[in-house]
Structure formats: C-alpha cells, structure tokens
Amino acid sequence: MHTSIDLHNSRVLLTGAAGGIGLAIAEGFLLEGADVLATDIKASEGIEQLIAQYPNQLTYVDVDLSKDDALEALLEKACDWDVNTLVNNAAIFDMGHIWESNLDQYDRLFHINVRVMFRLMQGVASHLRDNKKTGKVINFSSQAGRRGEALVAHYCATKAAVISYTQSAALAYADDGITINAIAPGVVDTPMWEHVDKLFAKYENRPIGEKKRVVGEEVPLGRMGNPEDMVGAVLFLASSLADYITGQTLNVDGGCVLS
C-alpha cells in the first residue's frame, strides 16, 4: 500500500506552464521529483527561475498550440520522451453578450480549450496504450463548466466539454490502466483574473476591481483561490494514490460547487 505521493517516475507534459496555475503546478511536480516538459506560448521570468533551479528535471519549450504543426510536433516530442503524465492546463478566456458574440470568438475558445486538450489527451493516452504502459491524464475544466453564465457562454461551454471528454476518454482507456480525470477550479487569483475583472467591469458597468472583490467574498471559504491551492489536487491525481479514480472532475473551489 502506498500512503504518500511519490512522483519520481513521473514524466509530465504540462501546458500553460509559464504563469499562474501552470507555474505553481510545475514547481509542485519538480519538488516531488518528477521530470517536466513544460510549454507555453512565451517563457516567463517565473519559468526561467525554475529552469535555473531544476536544470536536470525541467525542459521548457515555447509552443503556439493554435498551430496544428506545432501541436503535433509537441506531441511527437513528448511521446519520444516517454511521457506518462499529461496536465492539460492551457486555456484562454473571453466573454460578451451572446447577441454580440461571433464565430471567431467561438472558434478561438474551442480551439485552445477543447480541440487542443482533446488532441493531447488522445495522443498521450494512445501512446501509452500502444506501448502497454499505464499513465495519468489531468484536464483542467472550471466551475464555469458546471453551469452556464449569461456573459460567458462560449467559455462555459468549452469547460463543460472538457468534463464530458474526460468522462468518455476515461471509459475508453480504462482497460489499459490509464486514468483520466479533471479539475474544476473556482475563482483563482491569477494574472488572468485582472483581464477577467476588466471585462466584467465593461459588461456589468462596474468599477475596476469590484467583480474580483465580490466573487472572492461569495466563496464559502471566504476568499479567492490561489494557484498553490490547485497543486495538491493535481499531484494527488497524478500519483499512485489515485490509481482507482478515473472519469471524475474534482472541484477545487472553496465550496462554490457542491457535488
């Protein structure tokens, strides 16, 4: 019986790793002894500091996941590297009235949040299956995937799709010993929320900063989450402690969604 998290044999592909939740997850894996192949559209000071601290464990590459050739090249690199754990964290956000939204916004959000997530999940899980190896896939959904919101229709729909694909893929790969789960964060205080707050200020006629304050106060535990709050759930699902868990979406949201 394993009673502690041991990730020394984990080889992790992590997207959206340069800041916020992704950067915290990268550091968490590194502290637990995992090897990490981290990607984002552009390196940050934070990821460069981790590279300097963990030169033998962390490899970082700039990847524009909106480009199919770059996506396929990343997948090939990860499989050649013998990846056994995937964390699909990369995502983009936008909002607006449904009657003003257009298919360009729809395409951008679904491309990164769903299409890229699906392809990496499919590619990594199939690589493991073909080589008769077990592994872990962890997809990032959101509390926005649990219910629609008037101003956030496309984003909510993408995150609901993540939950559904996670369930379907978990069943498809269950016989191969590959577990596939998702995490649904609530409101998390990251640089992205500054952008989100400004959009709410625009569409709800609020002062800058008010939406962020209000949503934090509405969390049952009394505050917005921070990136570090997500790390424990990811490491748990990536470890042998979660070998009998698959097809689930774990809410990490301070009690906002009860299930």
Query: What is the three-state SS of the chain?
Result: CCCCCCCCCCEEEECCCCCHHHHHHHHHHHHCCCEEEEEECCCCHHHHHHHHHCCCCEEEEECCCCCHHHHHHHHHHHHHCCCCEEEECCCCCCCCCCCCCCHHHHHHHHHHHHHHHHHHHHHHHHHHHHCCCCEEEEEECCHHHCCCCCCCHHHHHHHHHHHHHHHHHHHHCHHHCEEEEEEEECCECCHHHHHHHHHHHHHHCCCCCHHHHHHHHHCCCCCCECCHHHHHHHHHHHCHHHCCCCCCEEEECCCCCCC
For residues 56-78, give the mean pLDDT: 98
Q: Number of folded domains in the chain?
A: 1
pLDDT over 80 at 12, yes or no: yes
Residues labelled catalytic: 155
Q: How far apart are CA 65 and CA 104, in angstroms?
A: 17
Query: Does residue 191 lie within any of the structural domains?
Result: no
pLDDT over 90 at 14, yes or no: yes
Pair 95, 109: CB distance under 8 Å: no
Query: Does residue 259 lie within any of the structural domains?
Result: no
Q: Quick: pLDDT tens for 151-192.
A: 999 999 999 999 999 999 999 999 999 999 999 999 999 999
Query: Does residue 4 lie within any of the structural domains?
Result: no
**How does the average pLDDT of the chain come out, rounded?**
97
Q: What confidence tier does 4 reach under pLDDT thresholds 50, 70, 90?
A: confident
Q: Quick: pLDDT tens for 210-221.
A: 999 999 999 999
Query: Does residue 257 lie within any of the structural domains?
Result: no
Q: What confidence tier does 1 reach under pLDDT thresholds 50, 70, 90?
A: low
Q: Which domain holds residue 128?
A: 11-186+228-252
Domain with residue 57: its CATH number is: 3.40.50.720
Query: Does residue 150 lie within any of the structural domains?
Result: yes
Q: What confidence tier does 3 reach under pLDDT thresholds 50, 70, 90?
A: confident
pLDDT over 90 at 86, yes or no: yes
Q: Quick: pLDDT tens for 87-139.
A: 999 999 999 999 999 999 999 999 999 999 999 999 999 999 999 999 999 99
